[in-house]
């Protein structure tokens, strides 16, 4: 950089002129030398015309382009999170005794074994469909950890969708909002470092302290009615003390991303993402009549260009703007999962938490026959897989995966 001193006073004009000319001359000389060296270096590293250059291993702009590589989570060593205020606000009252009794312990052993088997079969089917499958590292989540602000044990690396968001050639680590998930990123770091070394961009969002101030310690939940009232008033267990978000509260449609303010994603977190992705991408806040907003993809799941599944139990308040933009809004049928099947961390609407392999293929629960019919009517082939026990840990196919690479280009679908 050329730094020029401003010299004032009549008799010093000549001195100033000589000094500036001298500085400019030296700077231009250095500039020419640097350009010459840079050109030589560029020529030295220029690939041979027939040499193959590896494309970026990370690239996805939406939820439906042809899937080439995916991260699938692990149920191994999964543990029940301690029953803290943020966990209470995100779980159903009938399961609170379960959390109070078993928080910090492993999920029921036989149930967990079945979940692991189901996810292995899911991986095999993805490979059969031509998708490269990657997995996070197995980690011992029972180890207690302590920060200056809290003490906790871990949970799992089952739901990569919650922590990783791919936007273009960038992989973004979400900060999360549950203390039991503070160190969850460690299971994915070997993979992310590999992608980075091969050319991907890697961003870690600001890590929250998760101090007590991030949570409304007196969040008044006693019933579903309480939840409805608080959500309608825009009150959530997370405050605006510092940015926090789960990646699963965002969903992509080319240059537009849609997000909800939820129990785990606050406005500061959304604003961080908005500024980070601007000006190429626009982040739109949408909301739903939902007593327990947490993760958008079992409420509003975009499955194709201008095609979205919208949960009839949790209608979108801004749905008219999608219709005006020419989108087709499909209300999926009621889920068929039986009432006695444990869903410790989610609702039955995981039936619509599907994974698109491309515009004409979808991975869907083998037991949900009515949604199979819905997809067939839309001209979409269903790849049926049973992950009913894996559902109990808090996610469907979309939750259990993060799409690393899809074959497509950046386009605008929302006008």
- pLDDT value, residue 246: 98
Catalytic residue among 123, 256, 295, 372: 295
Name the residue among 110, 63, 143, 119 with its Cα closest to residue 357.
Answer: 63
Catalytic residue among 246, 290, 297, 365: 246
- pLDDT value, residue 410: 98
Reply yes or no on whether 256 is catalytic. no
Reply yes or no on whether 244 is catalytic. no
> 69 is written with which tokens?
């590589």
Query: Do 142 and 383 touch, CB atoms closer than 8 A?
Result: no
Pure H helices in 242-298: 267-277
- The residue behind tokens 């209470």 is 88
- pLDDT value, residue 1: 35
The tens-digit pLDDT sequence of the chain (415 residues) is 333 233 333 333 433 434 334 433 444 444 434 444 444 333 333 444 444 446 899 999 999 999 999 999 999 999 999 999 999 999 988 999 999 999 999 999 999 999 999 999 999 999 999 999 999 999 999 999 999 999 999 999 999 999 999 999 999 999 999 999 999 999 999 999 999 999 999 999 999 999 999 999 988 877 767 877 888 888 999 999 999 999 999 999 999 999 999 999 999 999 999 999 999 999 999 999 998 899 999 999 999 999 999 999 999 999 999 999 999 999 999 999 999 999 999 999 999 999 999 999 999 999 999 999 999 999 999 999 999 999 999 999 999 999 999 999 999 999 8
Helix (H) or strand (E) holding 405: strand 401-407
Name the residue among 237, 238, 254, 80 with its Cα closest to residue 156.
Answer: 80
- pLDDT value, residue 415: 86
Domains and CATH numbers, the chain: 69-378 (3.75.10.10)
Q: How far is CA 133 from the centre of its chain?
A: 18
- pLDDT value, residue 54: 65
Reply yes or no on whether 295 is catalytic. yes
Q: How many CA atoms lie within 13 A of 10 on its CB side?
A: 0
């Amino acid at each position: 950089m050329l730094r020029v001193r401003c010299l004032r006073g009549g008799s010093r004009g000549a001195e100033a002129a000589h000094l500036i000319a001298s500085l400019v001359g030296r700077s231009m000389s250095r500039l020419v030398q640097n350009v010459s060296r840079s050109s030589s270096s560029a020529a030295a590293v220029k690939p041979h015309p027939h040499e193959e250059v590896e494309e970026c291993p990370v690239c996805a702009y939406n939820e439906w382009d042809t899937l080439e590589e995916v991260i699938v989570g692990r149920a191994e060593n999964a543990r029940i999170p301690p029953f803290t205020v943020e966990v209470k606000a995100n779980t159903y009252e009938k399961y609170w005794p379960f959390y109070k009794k078993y928080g910090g312990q492993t999920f029921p052993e036989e149930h967990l074994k079945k979940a692991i088997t189901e996810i292995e079969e899911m991986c095999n089917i993805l490979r059969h469909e031509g998708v490269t499958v990657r997995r996070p590292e197995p980690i011992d989540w029972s180890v207690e950890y302590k920060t200056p602000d809290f003490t906790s044990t871990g949970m799992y690396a089952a739901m990569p969708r919650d922590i990783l968001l791919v936007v273009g050639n960038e992989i973004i680590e979400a900060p999360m909002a549950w203390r039991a998930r503070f160190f969850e990123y460690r299971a994915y770091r070997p993979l992310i470092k590999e992608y980075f070394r091969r050319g991907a961009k890697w961003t870690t969002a600001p890590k929250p302290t998760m101090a007590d101030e991030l949570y409304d310690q007196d969040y008044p939940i006693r019933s579903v009615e309480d939840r409805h009232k608080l959500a309608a008033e825009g009150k959530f267990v997370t405050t605006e003390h510092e940015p926090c978000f789960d990646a699963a509260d965002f969903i992509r449609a080319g240059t537009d991303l849609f997000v909800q303010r939820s129990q785990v994603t606050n406005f500061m977190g959304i604003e961080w993402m908005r500024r980070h992705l601007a000006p190429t991408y626009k982040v739109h806040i949408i909301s739903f009549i939902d007593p327990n907003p947490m993760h958008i993809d079992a409420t509003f799941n975009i499955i194709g260009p201008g095609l979205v599944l919208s949960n009839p139990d949790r209608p979108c308040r801004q749905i008219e703007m999608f219709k005006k933009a020419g989108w087709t809004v499909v209300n999926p049928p009621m889920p068929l999962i039986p009432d006695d099947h444990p869903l410790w961390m989610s609702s039955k609407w995981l039936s619509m938490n599907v994974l698109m392999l491309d515009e004409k293929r979808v991975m869907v629960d083998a037991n949900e026959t009515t949604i199979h019919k819905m997809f067939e009517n839309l001209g979409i082939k269903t790849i049926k897989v049973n992950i009913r026990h894996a559902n109990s840990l808090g996610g469907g196919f979309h939750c259990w995966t993060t799409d690393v690479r899809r074959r497509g280009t950046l386009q605008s679908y929302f006008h």
